[in-house]
Amino acid sequence: MELVRVGDKLISRRKLNTALERIFELRCRGFSQQETARQVGVDRSFVSRLETLGEIRRGRRIAVVGFPVANKTELENMLQQEGVEYILLLTDVERWDFIRQKNGLELLNNLMEIVARVRDYDVVIMIGSDYRIRVSEALLGREVVGMEIGTSPIRGDREVDIDTMRALVRQLGKDKENDH
């Protein structure tokens, strides 16, 4: 039903939903809670309480990029279960196909898109050679945690220890304030 009676008041669900959508739209666009509250005509504490009420994830956002990974499917499944939001894992064959199937401009554009996407995350776990990890740190200019699976150049797929990776993801995913 569109309208709900609460005591003497008649409340419009549509009006409430429109206000909620506007609040989340403004917050997603980068407006502060105070700016959002002012535009929607509510208290800042209301915006804060809404966010707390709907929050399903605490902690830092994690991206995992790695190649050449032998146990790719098993690792992807575990990372998804742990709530990792961005996963890009390639086997040795897949990484070479990724390069060979593109012309120079397509490859450059794809790599730039990947870099742009992972820059949005708080922590990037890079699985790869010592060289690839160093390049990732320089390129991203942010927190990159390396999991070295060999020295460069790596030939062939390498196993990634699932339990070690799970522990790393759990540790890195904690709120920074709670890390002491």
Are both 161 and 93 inside the same structural domain? yes
Task: Please state the domain count of the chain.
Answer: 2
What pLDDT is attached to residue 173? 86
Q: Which residue range is the domain that position 15 belongs to?
A: 3-53
Q: Are residues 29 and 86 in the same domain?
A: no
Question: Do 45 and 66 share a structural domain?
Answer: no
Provide the CATH number for the domain around residue 117: 3.40.50
Confidence class for position 153, pLDDT limits 50, 70, 90: very high
Q: Do residues 15 and 80 both lie within one domain?
A: no
Judgement on whether residues 69 and 129 belong to the same structural domain of the protein: yes
What pLDDT is recorded for position 120? 86
Nearest to 76 by CA among 86, 68, 122: 86
What's the rounded mean pLDDT across residues 89-106?
A: 95
Name which residue leads in pLDDT, 9 or 57: 9
Residue 124 near residue 142 (C-beta atoms within 8 A)? yes
Are residues 76 and 45 both part of a single domain?
no
pLDDT band at 129 (very low <50, low <70, confident <90, very high): very high
Last-in-domain residue among 31, 53, 75:
53
Q: Are both 91 and 25 inside the same structural domain?
A: no
- Say yes or no: 110 and 76 in one domain: yes
Long-range contacts of 84-91 (CB under 8 A, 24+ apart): 84/169, 85/61, 85/121, 86/62, 86/117, 86/118, 86/121, 87/63, 88/63, 88/64, 88/114, 89/64, 89/65, 89/127, 90/66, 91/67, 91/157
Is 108 a residue whose pLDDT tops 90? yes
8 Å CB contact between 13 and 25? no
